Structures are given as structure tokens and as C-alpha cells.
């Protein structure tokens, strides 16, 4: 049907019917527009929710990651501290053992110097020092308390001469020292000295002695 025919037909139609057709057209257009507006709004709503969910998921996962990492760090710290404390406990216990042995040894050395055998032991200490010094004209410096102990210095000198091949003489020095036991052996010209007092030996040999003690105490 052509447009002219359409127009003619419309003009021939009663006014009420024409108005109804206009009304229907306007309302149909309005409804379509309203529908479009709502449809677009619904799409925007969906997008807003979808984006919010994604954003929230990202935030949540970031919170969780950070907190879990912090908790793991804290856990590692607590365990590391416990391990350190455990090592310290063991070290302290071992050190206590070594200290106890050294204290007991010192106590027995103090006892030893009052025993009747000490003279013979002192002679051996002097001999050892004299040999280490290489013999020669030597003198022995003793603690004040042991200055009067009888010592066979001639016999020691003879032994030293024999072992070093150097003619050796030994005499007590007029000087005395502060020490628990042992002696200082030195050349008369004071060019060389061996300090074999108990304190000096313990100090000099401390590292080796501690290793020996540890091996004996904690070997098994």
C-alpha cells in the first residue's frame, strides 16, 4: 500500500479511531523508551555489582595474603627464638660442667700442695721447665708458702743435663711469687723463663684443657 493511500485512508477514518491510533503510537514509543531506559539501568547495575565483587575479592585476597604472611613471619620468629634459647640452655649446661671440672681441679691442686707427695711433684714440674728452657745455669722461683720445701735440685739438674746435653745447675731464687703451686724456672741471667705455676699453666693451656674436658664430659 502506497503512502498516499495510507494518508487518504487515515483521513477517512473517524476522529476517535484516529486519536486512538495516535495515542497507541505515542504510548508504544514511550513504553519502548521506558523499557530501554530500564534495560540500560539494569545493565549498569549488573556491572556495578560485578565490579564491586571483583574489587572486594581483590581486597579480601590482599588482606588474607598480608595477614597470613605476617603470621608466618611471627611464627618463624617465635620458633627461631625458641631454637636460640634451646641452644643457649645446652651451651650454659655444658659451660657449667666445664666450669665445675676446672673448679674441682683447682680445689684438688690446692689440696695437693699441702700433701707430703707435693715435693716430688714439684721436682717433676721444675724438671719439665728446666728441660723446656734447654738447661744451663738456672734458678727456681717458688711461691712464698713453698720456699722451704725440700727439693733435690742437684738430682734434677743432673737429669736435665743428661736429657738436654747441656751442663745444668739449679738453685732456689731468693725471690718468691704469689701462686697456688708450681714454680717459675728461669736462666740466671734472666734471658729466658718458663712459668710453670698452676695458674700460669691453666691460663696458657686453657683452650686445650677445655677441649679435653668437653671431649671427656660430652663424648657419648
Partner 1 sequence: MASEALKEIRRIEAEAGKRILEASEEAERLEAAATEKAVQIEKEMVEKAELEAKRKAEEARKEAEKEAERIIKEAEKEVSAIRRQIEENLEEAVKAVLNAVLVG
Interactions with partner 1, residue window 11-30 (CB under 8 A): 15, 18-19, 22-23, 26-27, 29-30
* Candidate segments 4-12, 52-60, 133-141, 161-169, binder of partner 1 by CB under 8 A: 52-60
The residue within the footprint of partner 1, chosen from 17, 81, 110, 162 (CB under 8 A), is: 81
Q: Which phi and psi (to 5°) does residue 176 adopt?
A: -130, 165
Identify residues 170-189 at the interface with partner 1 (CB under 8 A): 182
Nearest to 139 by CA among 200, 203, 192: 192
Give the dihedral of Cα atoms 117, 121, 126, 129; nearest 10 deg.
-170
| Minimum CB–partner distance for residue 82 and partner 1 (Å) | 4
Under the criterion CB under 8 A, does residue 89 sit at the interface with partner 1?
A: yes
Identify residues 107-136 at the interface with partner 1 (CB under 8 A): 108-109, 112, 121, 124-125, 128
Identify residues 30-49 at the interface with partner 1 (CB under 8 A): 30-31, 33-35, 37-38, 40-42, 44-45, 48-49
C-alpha cell at 91: 651451651
Under the criterion CB under 8 A, does residue 96 sit at the interface with partner 1?
A: yes
Residues sharing a CB contact under 8 Å with residue 198, sequence separation 6 or more, in sequence order: 106, 109, 179, 180, 181, 182
Radius of gyration, alpha carbons of the chain: 54
Under the criterion CB under 8 A, does residue 57 sit at the interface with partner 1?
A: yes
CB of 56 or CB of 192, closer to partner 1:
56
Distance CA 199, CA 110 (A): 11
- E strand or H helix at 170, and its extent? strand 169-177
* Candidate segments 139-147, 149-157, 163-171, 196-204, binder of partner 1 by CB under 8 A: 196-204
Distance CA 43, CA 6 (A): 40
Amino acid at each position: 500500500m502506497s503512502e498516499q493511500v495510507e494518508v487518504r485512508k487515515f483521513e477517512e477514518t473517524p476522529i476517535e479511531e484516529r486519536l486512538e491510533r495516535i495515542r497507541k503510537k505515542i504510548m508504544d514509543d514511550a513504553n519502548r523508551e521506558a523499557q530501554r531506559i530500564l534495560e540500560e539501568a539494569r545493565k549498569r547495575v549488573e556491572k556495578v555489582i560485578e565490579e564491586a565483587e571483583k574489587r572486594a575479592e581483590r581486597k579480601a585476597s590482599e588482606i588474607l595474603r598480608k595477614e597470613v604472611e605476617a603470621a608466618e613471619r611471627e611464627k618463624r620468629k617465635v620458633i627461631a627464638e625458641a631454637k636460640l634459647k634451646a641452644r643457649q640452655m645446652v651451651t650454659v649446661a655444658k659451660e657449667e660442667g666445664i666450669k665445675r671440672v676446672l673448679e674441682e681441679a683447682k680445689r684438688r691442686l690446692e689440696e695437693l700442695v699441702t700433701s707430703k707427695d707435693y715435693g716430688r711433684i714439684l721436682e717433676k714440674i721444675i724438671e719439665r721447665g728446666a728441660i723446656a728452657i734447654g738447661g744451663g745455669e738456672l734458678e727456681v722461683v717458688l711461691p712464698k708458702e713453698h720456699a722451704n720445701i725440700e727439693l733435690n735440685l742437684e738430682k734434677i739438674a743432673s737429669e736435665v743435663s743428661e736429657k738436654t746435653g747441656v751442663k745444668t745447675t739449679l738453685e732456689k731464687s731468693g725471690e718468691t711469687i704469689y701462686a697456688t703451686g708450681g714454680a717459675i724456672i728461669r736462666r740466671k741471667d734472666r734471658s729466658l723463663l718458663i712459668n710453670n705455676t698452676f695458674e700460669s699453666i691453666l691460663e696458657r693451656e686453657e683452650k686445650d684443657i677445655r677441649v679435653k674436658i668437653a671431649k671427656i664430659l660430652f663424648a657419648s
